[in-house]
């Protein structure tokens, strides 16, 4: 199982399918992956707090923002794979919709 040096999002999704099979995670449901993503988001938030110099529990696991972002991406790919969603295409389609929206601050 190898990943190209500059993978596309589709490459990452295929890689996640392979790594899950290799590591025995293929049987986890979309719900399982969503719950795991939630845990990773908490770890990401803790890493950002630490990086921003906010107070954190010194006994909590030291986390790196880049590592936690990567973990979140893996779970997003896994969830998309379970629903047969091409994240690259979904991103482009959503951005096409967003370009048509008007963004303004509320007063």
- Tokens 């893996």 sit at which residue? 74
Query: How does pLDDT run across 5-42, given as a tens digit for each residue?
Result: 899 999 999 999 999 999 999 999 999 999 999 999 99
Q: What does the pLDDT average to over 41-68?
A: 89
Q: Is residue 4 part of a domain?
A: no
Give the chain's domain count: 1
Q: CA 65 → CA 35, 59, 94, distances in Å? A: 19, 18, 26
Q: Is residue 39 part of a domain?
A: yes
Both tokens assigned to 38: 């939630």
Query: Domain span at residue 56?
Result: 9-99
CATH number (domain holding residue 46): 1.10.287.1080
Q: Is residue 94 part of a domain?
A: yes
Query: How does pLDDT run across 38-48, given as a tens digit for each residue?
Result: 999 999 999 99
Query: How does pLDDT run across 85-102, given as a tens digit for each residue?
Result: 999 999 999 999 999 998
Q: Is residue 19 part of a domain?
A: yes
């Amino acid at each position: 199982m190898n990943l190209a040096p500059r993978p596309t999002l589709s490459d990452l999704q295929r890689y996640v399918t392979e790594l899950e099979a290799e590591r025995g995670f293929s049987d986890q449901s979309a719900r399982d992956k969503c719950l795991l993503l939630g845990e990773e988001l908490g770890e990401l938030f803790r890493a950002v707090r630490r990086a921003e110099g906010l107070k954190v529990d010194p006994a909590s696991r030291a986390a790196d923002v880049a590592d936690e972002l990567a973990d979140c991406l893996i779970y997003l790919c896994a969830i998309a794979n379970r629903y047969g969603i091409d994240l690259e295409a979904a991103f482009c389609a959503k951005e096409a919709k967003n370009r048509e929206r008007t963004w303004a601050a509320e007063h």
